[in-house]
Amino acid sequence: MRHRRPGASIGEPHSGLADEAEGYLLAHAQHDQARCEAEDLCALMPWLTTAQAEEVVGHYVRRRLDVTRQLLLATARRADELRQEYEARYSDLRRALLRRHAAVACALLPCAVGAGALAGLFTR
């Protein structure tokens, strides 16, 4: 189920290209942030050679992106589970409300018929 993007007008079609661009930019930002963190870490270890520092940076970035990917996938799975739970609950509540309205309508119909019959008797 696709949802409207925040700020998009109701008649505006959903753009998959915008989602891809947003995902690319978020992934690129995560990569840049991980690289900066790795470089800061390597700066605290001045005894590393340039090759060793690059190896540490590469390893850190890969590991950090793997962890981020796992967290995002777990969050997406949980969001989907919650959406399904809320949709099921909403459907149950909607059915219960419909049953109540039908019961009230069934109870009011004989009352209305009776009131109409009484009104007809009193007007004669």
**CA–CA dist 75, 109 (Å, integer):** 50
- pLDDT average, residue stretch 75-84: 97
What separation in angstroms does the CA of 73 have from each of 19, 78, 79, 109? Answer: 16, 9, 10, 53
- pLDDT average, residue stretch 59-73: 95
pLDDT of residue 1: 42
What does the DSSP 8-state code read for residue 124?
Answer: -
pLDDT of residue 19: 85
Tell me the pLDDT tens digit for each residue of 87-116: 999 999 999 999 999 999 999 999 988 888
Question: 65 near 37, Cβ under 8 Å?
Answer: no
Percentage of the residues of the chain whose pLDDT score is greater than 90: 70
Q: What is the value of pTM for the model shown?
A: 0.63
Tell me the pLDDT tens digit for each residue of 8-37: 555 455 678 998 899 899 999 999 999 999
